[in-house]
Structure 1
């Protein structure tokens, strides 16, 4: 068993071949690992279980105009079989820069574009319909894709106005799927109401091995209502990395094809049957490759997930 750090050092030292095919470094390398995909309940379309988010470090890199790093991370996503790219106009330059790179590289149509709408703010203010429509049209112009795959109301902002607008866009065929997102506990009850009352295709929520609140009500409701689920912050932002710093991945993680801490955390999330895809943010291609390893091979069963929880809680 190798740690994430040791694996990454080996990948970099071994050069392009191993960096592009990390399974060559893994145990049982001669066993072909299949890409894990999940269906969108409203259509049956399947998505790879791991994608790429564009907040946090991706957003910081986009602001710095370090385009080479972002070219590499987007290229790694596609090369390793990923498609889901989650962004938002509020993530600084992320949406604009990623769209420019994707179109330059000719991979825009290979990506499942998930962006967001929010001109109202999180405090409950009303959205100006003209501003909301202008933000949507800017996203279409940047991404260069019509229809856009998924647009969600960001942080539950002015649902009547903004979700109403997205329903119109979906009816017109300009967006394929619509949804709502939140990572704020005080909005979870409101999210449940929207899931109960509105014909949405997706939600985007926070969920991690040490943040399992979603298992209580939101994920069961998504299952019952046939709503796809994108997972944000599967590493607890930096919280889980702080917890495991200097510690080795347990050897028994190989039983579900996890060989780094990143894969350990992501496979826990993806093992929940209601989760459609997790979209951790990164600006480094080697982390993107490592993350995609979580969408390969086996997943932990319920008994193993309890063992994983206990292990993390013991650290």
Structure 2
């Protein structure tokens, strides 16, 4: 058994100091990290417990009407908070679609952002071919079971997908991630926080060594009336998405003023369907327009041997989610 040192941080500065040791990992709820440790996938030299840092477990209203959600806010508390439900129902819906009630009661917002992929080859150390665990070893999923894997933005190095429901909603809502580190504080636009696999699938995010997520900032609530989070999965609860869609719309009468659409279960990061958004903006919704927008969102999709069904499924899910967000009856998945 590997020796692991443990330290409880009293504040952010304390946590950053403690994290200067190589191999240090921050721990909050631990719902994903402890699984990885038990399976031997992750072997930290040191755990820094951040659960007692004051202020990271709060939700505060910002002067512009947005919200700041602390990194230690539990997923269940964020989903059920009155401000989140009223101003950002899309986020509340996505959080409640994730995991089980017991896990949501323990998991934190910051930890949710840091979830590792649920690729079975990554989780099972008996498979030695995994570029995410051991760079340069190969990707067993390419020629193996890849039904759950990526159809967008994949690389020959890795075809795993990001598992977070919350992150799909945050991508659609144009959130920002607040980070503290050895070089001070910085704000990362949500679209730049997670990485595509590229040549270095071992890195899931753009966090630098020793950096700590402190909060997620949501912009003013422009999308609070017409939103829907759709999660398509193999069973009704406690399952990861085959495809998910976060859809948010603004209207001028019957015309779509603007649209925000993000997909989950299809890429190494939450995937913004900007082509679909552009097709919808400035147009009245129709079945033909929705089919065109959905096709545009998946125009660059590339299937593996077992997951070609995801392309049509994602298109139909976009149509259904946008119709639900608009309160419209139409051609649906």
Q: TM-score, normalised on structure 1? A: 0.26
TM-score, structure 2 length as denominator? Answer: 0.25
Which of structures 1 and 2 has the larger relative contact order (alpha carbons within 8 angstroms, sep 6+)? 1
More strand by share: 2
